[in-house]
Amino acid sequence: DLRLALRSALLPLGDFAQTLAVVREAEQLATALGDHQRLAQATFFLSLHLYLNGQHDEAVRAAQRAQALTAGRDPIMHALATYLTGIHLQAQGQYTHATECFERSLTALAGAKQRQFFNLAILPSVTSCAFLATCSAELGHFPRAHAYGVQGLEIAEAVGHPPSTMFAAWGAGWAAFRQGDAPCALSLLERALGICRD
């Protein structure tokens, strides 16, 4: 628990190497203890930090392991592991499969869960919408991309969380850019950049 909490404290500092080391320690302890729930959490965060370190193949394997650990046991953690798998697939250009992951996670995070962080820095419902917007745009499904972009912005603005709003504006802006709507894209991406600067 202390190592998983330390992960959350180290992440904003940008010390990805130390954060990854702490998460690996948590994973080893959970494995030694046979603690299924904490192992799933540690494996999820391991996948996230491997992704941030650019270790994509290992990150995908960790995300799939987290999905397997949570299937039928922890619906929220399973939804988060599915969403994380989508992020890895999106990074590899597998937009159709990534979209399927994000749609499943967004469905599981419906209702009041849309406004919950689940120990993440940005609302996972918002990042799911943002990535659904970008993936849909890459596939040429522009009305769907626009709808997801709007949905992500609405969730983030309702919560009043600037980092989530930044991510939502980025996703909607990217979708507008891919559609060729430069004025809309510029407005949204400038908004995202402004939040980052603030």
180: left (phi over 0), alpha (psi -120 to 50) or beta: left
- Structure tokens belonging to residue 114: 């849309």
Joined together, the tokens standing for residue 78 give: 């399973």
The answer to whether residues 125 and 92 touch, using CB atoms and an 8 Å cutoff, is no
- pLDDT (tens digit, 9 = 90+) per residue, 114-157? 999 998 889 999 999 999 999 999 999 999 999 999 999 999 99
How far are the Cα atoms of 7, 128, 134, 169 from residue 196, in angstroms, in the given order?
22, 19, 19, 11
Q: How far apart are alpha carbons 171 and 125 in whole angstroms?
A: 12
The fraction of the chain above a pLDDT of 90, given in percent, is 81
Provide the pLDDT for residue 147: 98
- Residues, the chain: 198
Q: Quick check: 23 and 7 in contact, CB under 8 A?
A: yes
pLDDT in tens, 10-55: 887 888 889 999 999 999 999 999 998 999 999 999 999 898 888 8
Q: Cα–Cα distance between 60 and 3 in angstroms, integer?
A: 22
pTM of the predicted model as reported, rounded to 2 decimal places? 0.90
Region 51-74: mean pLDDT is: 90
3-state secondary structure of 160: coil
